[in-house]
Each structure stands twice: as C-alpha cells, then as structure tokens.
Chain A
Amino acid sequence: MSTSALACTGLVKSFGDVRALDGVTVDVTAPATGLLGANGAGKSTLMKLALGLLAPDDGEVRVLGLDAATDRAQIRARVGYMPEHACLPTDMSAQDLCIHLARLRGLPRRDALRRASEVLFAVGLEEERHRLVDTYSLGMRQRAKLAQALVHGPDLVVLDEPTSGLDPAGRAEMLSILRHLSRDLGIQVLLSSHVLEDVERTCDEVVVLSSGRVTAQQPVAARDSAGPVVVQVTGDASTFAAGLRARDVPADADGGRVRLAAATPAALTAVRDLAAETGVGVLSLVDAANALEDAVVGAMR
C-alpha cells in the first residue's frame, strides 16, 4: 500500500454561515484517488486545505505524512497542483513557465531546463513549447498546467477538474496521461471531478463528498467482462428467463428485466438465439456489476 497521500481528521471549514466541510475524516492511500461530488460538495475546499491555501477551522490535515499547517515548505516541494481555473501567465511560453516554476521550487538552472523539456514532451507540447501561452487552445493550456505541476518531480499531484472544457479527443488524451502518472511513474494522484467516468478510467479509489461530508470511500474495481449482466426485453421477462434456464443458462427475472449470473459466450449466444426464436426484442444488455455508479449516485443524494 502507498504512503497516505492525504489524511484528514475531523476537518471543519466554514465560509460565513456555510459549512463547506463538516467533520471530514478520510485517509487516501491509493495510487490514484478520485474526489467526486456535486458542485458545492466540498471537493475544492478539501483540496485547498490540503494545499495550504486555506486554514481549517478545526481538525487536522496531513499530506504525504506531513502536517499541512506546520510543514508547508516540505509539502510544497513534494506536491504538484493543477488548478481548474486559468492560472498561467499569458505572456510567457510554456517552456519559460516550466523553467520559471522549477527554479522557484528550488531546481538548479540546468536541471530546470532539462525537466521542462521532459515534462513538455510527456504532455505532448514539445512542438509548441516556445509559443506564448496566450496563443494556446484550451487543451494546450490544460497540458501546460499539467506540465508545470510535474516539472519538479512531485510525489503527489493534485488535479482539480483536469478535463474541464476539453473536447472528447483531448479528454481521452488527458485521462491517458493521468493514468500513466500513477501506474507507470509512481506519482500519487488526487483528482477532483464530477464526472464518474473520468475517475473510473484514471483512479484506483473514489471518495465521495456530499454536503461537506465523506459519504463513500471505495475502490474502483476493474470491470469483469464475464460478470453478471442485466437484459431488458420487450416481452415478459419471466418467460424469457425461463427460456434461458431451459438452455442451461442461469437467469432470474428481476422486475421487468432478466438478470444473468455470468455473461459467458454461451449465455450471450443463448440470449441472442432465444430472442430470435421467440420474436422478443432485446432493448439493452448492460453490466449488472455497476456497483460504483450505484454507490456514488446513492452517496451523492
């Protein structure tokens, strides 16, 4: 198990009468963890407390085992941050920006130059690194933001809505890079998003926040391609399930749907053949083990 990226105990933070975090206690140890929650759930507040941008009213925050209140300098050296909002100086090139931030973070000039080239290559900006940030598309700006977060070789990167505003292709590429960070480079990732699919594709664990409280924390299990499935048919579900059982396929009617215990090739062939023989339409055939989505939706209510 990895080092605890973020450990909070009884964390409370209010803004006026609004209690943004209400006694949050959580221990984040997975290589990549997604923070999920609706707008106003407390995700950004939790991240800002971890980054030292806000001070808690009560409770304790530890980042990489260090006290967020007293060990700020050590935390700064080991953490990278990609904010959701525009945060890049528009009159600098991505190369200059990465070198500049690497120097501020204590890297010698030669190392800063080398690291800037490496991270810009890693995020796919090597060809455009000398252009001013002002001339970048939104996708390129997101990449530049990620590059600066990685330039000093952090142990933990905090990413606030990294796919925000990206087109589908840009989003897929960004998610692929993020998965690469935790899986191949050993960098712990804490990602805030309100898109479950982004978290499923990049994270090992999900923490759900709702109204300032942690309402769920569970692993993101890899989907089993031969796991249980639910079939929705146009005819009577009980009759269809009985027909499948007659073909030695374990199946039960569940309300208006038919639940198959395993989506083996033989079972799927039986569904197809039975539907064709009886003239029943198959409306949908979906993974029944979508426990994460159910849990997240339930936890966000």
Chain B
Amino acid sequence: MSDTARLYDVRYSRYAGDREPRWRGVLALARSSATRALGVRRTRGAKVWPFLLVVCAHLPAVAALGIPLLFDDAPPPLELVSYVDLLMIITPVLVAFAATTLPSLLTRERRDRVLSLYFSTAMSPGEYLAGKALAAVALMSLVTLSPLLVLLVGSIVTADAPLDLVRDYAGHVVPVLAGGAVVALYFAALGLLAGSLTAKRLFAVGGLLAVLLVTPVVSGLVATLSDRPEIFAGDLAFAPLRAASTVLPLGDFGEDDGMEQPPDGLVWAVVGGVVLLAAVVLPLRYRTRDDA
C-alpha cells in the first residue's frame, strides 16, 4: 500500500464524450433563438406580447370553427372564411409579429457582442445564419401556417361527417402547407434582413414597420391614380399573401373588391426578390466575424 495519498477533484474533468453532428448544433441554436424570442425562460413581460400575437393570429380561425357549432344554419368554416381571407384578416398581426420578434433574433447577439464567441469556438457564420433562418421560419409559421392548419383540420374535425370531408379536403393539405410556408419564408427573410443591418432593435423594428406600412399606402395610391394594377406588386406587406393566394384553394386575393390585381409572375418576382436579397445580404453582413 502506498504511503502517499492523492486527492482527485471529481467535480471537474476533461470532456471525453461524443460530439453530435453539426446540424444538431444548428438545430440547438434555432430552438434556443425561437424560444428566447417568444420569451421562454425570460421575464413574464417578455412573454406577453409574442404570445398575445400568436393567440390573435388564431382567433379568426377559431371563430370560424365555432360559429357553425353554435348556429345550426351557419355555413361551414371554410365557406365563412377561406384560407386567403384568413391570411388577409391576420396580416396586421403577421406584420406586428414579424417586426417585433424577428429582428431581435440577430440584433440582440450583435448588441451583446456574442458573435466573436460563437464564431471562434462554436459555429461558422453559415451555421449561425442557418440556425437563425430556421428559427425565423419556425416563429413565423406559428402565425401563418398554424392558423391555416387549425382552420383546415378544425373544419374536418367539427364537421357532421368528418370522413367525407377528409376525402374532400385531402387536396388542400399541400397547397395550405405551401401557402403558409411562402408567407412564413417571406416575412422571415424580411425580418432577418432588417435585423442584420443594425445592432439596435429599435432601429430594425422601426425600419421594418416603415417598409411594411408605407409600401401598401404608396403602391396603392400610385396604382389607383395611374390605373396600373401591376404597381400593387410593390406592396411589401401583402406581396406574400398575393403570392400565396395563387396556390391556396378557395378564393383569390382581392376578388371581393373587384380590383384588378398585378400579374402572378410579378408578385412572385417581388417575393422571390426579397428572399434572394436576404440570402445575399445576410452572409455579407456576417463576413466580418469579429464584433469586438
């Protein structure tokens, strides 16, 4: 037996376990970013606004489902509110949610100067942006895709003969997913673009709100006065809705107003252009890795 004793600190040791593939790190960033944006594990005050908007985004769909249950002679939910109508009704909520939630996905970390830590020891700028893009799309899906799915699934579940409706509405699933994804992707791109341009959340929120509130007014005025409907395509708040309406079943954008709409191709070009602009600008903004 040795006459010398050795003391081991068992509370700290070198890590010798396995590392997960890099995409798990990207998913971890997306998850933590999305939950922080919703105020999860933060103060109560930080949770109120995002959750309020998420609830507001679902209210029209829930109301459309509830009315036929309360009144026997009421038409079925999808005749009360089509998918396009639903997105039109909640567009102010989408704008508010995108403007107040998405830019902070990027501004907060630039403000806190965490980027040099991330890029030196955790992940590449590409992985970082991938994580943030996933978080932004997931957040926007909560207020775009989710209400559409609530309306679709709720219409089937609350019907007198659900199985018949499953057959009738089976063809809606892919268009609803596609339409919701287009709107989510568009606002995610716009929100991240605004957030990447400044470290100050207030500037990013203000800038994004200005774009989303001013362009509908300006393009609407110019299009009406000049009688050139293609100028409506410059309305950056409703552009994704116009694009989504080309794939969503049951109704088109603006059909009730009787106003002529811009060509579908132009609308898709605007939506694609915004997403492409974000895809070009974001990597450029994170080319410099040092935030010190």
A-to-B contact residues, CB < 8 Å: 44, 48, 51-54, 72-73, 76-77, 79-81, 83-92, 96, 100-101, 103-108, 111, 115, 118-119, 121-122, 148-149, 152-154, 158, 184-187
Contact = CB atoms under 8 A, between A and B. Distances in A.
Q: Give the interface centre of B108, B121, B122 by most chain A CB atoms within 10 Å.
A: B121
Contacts of B19: 77, 105-107
Contact of A83 (B13, B108, B117): B117
A122 B12 contact: yes
A81 B120 contact: yes
A148 B112 CA distance: 15
B5 to A, nearest CB: 16
Interface string B10-31: 0111111111111011001100
A107 B121 CA distance: 13
B147 to A, nearest CB: 29
Given A83-B292, A87-B114, A104-B28, A52 B120 contact: yes
B41 interface: yes
Nearest to A145: B117
A106 B120 contact: no
Contact of B11 (A89, A100, A122): A122
Contact of A53 (B12, B20, B46, B289): B289
Contacts of B292: 44, 48, 53, 83-85
Contacts of B289: 52-54
Contacts of B9: 184
B29 A111 contact: no
A106 B21 CA distance: 7
A87 B117 contact: yes
A76 to B, nearest CB: 5
B88 interface: no
Nearest to B12: A122
B202 to A, nearest CB: 16
Given A104-B28, A119-B12, A122-B12, A51 B114 contact: no
B246 interface: no
Contacts of B290: 48, 53-54
Q: Give the interface centre of B18, B118, B292 by most chain A CB atoms within 10 Å.
A: B292
Contacts of A48: 116, 290, 292
Nearest to A85: B292
Contacts of A52: 119-120, 289
Given A100-B32, A104-B29, A108-B17, A80 B121 contact: yes
Nearest to B109: A89
A161 B289 CA distance: 20
Interface string B39-58: 00110001000000000000
Contacts of B36: 91
B29 to A, nearest CB: 6
B118 A104 contact: yes
Interface residues of B, number: 39
A89 B41 contact: no
A152 B42 contact: no
Contacts of A153: 14-16
B112 A88 contact: yes
A80 B25 CA distance: 16
Closest 4 CB pairs of A and B: A153-B15, A106-B19, A51-B120, A103-B28
Q: Give the interface centre of A48, A77, A87, A90 by most chain B CB atoms within 10 Å.
A: A87
Contacts of A187: 14
Contact of B25 (A86, A103, A186): A103
B158 to A, nearest CB: 38
A88 B116 contact: no
Contact of A81 (B13, B112, B121): B121
A86 B117 CA distance: 11
Interface in B105-159: 108-109, 112-114, 116-124
Contacts of B41: 92, 96
Given A83-B113, A89-B109, A103-B32, 12 more contacts: A48-B116, A53-B119, A53-B289, A76-B123, A76-B124, A86-B113, A87-B113, A101-B122, A105-B122, A106-B24, A107-B20, A111-B15
Given A87-B116, A103-B25, A104-B29, A72 B124 contact: yes
Contacts of B113: 83, 85-87
A107 B36 CA distance: 20
Contacts of A53: 116, 119-120, 289-290, 292
9 contacts: A76-B124, A81-B121, A88-B112, A103-B25, A104-B118, A108-B20, A118-B12, A118-B13, A121-B11
A87 B117 CA distance: 7
B292 to A, nearest CB: 5
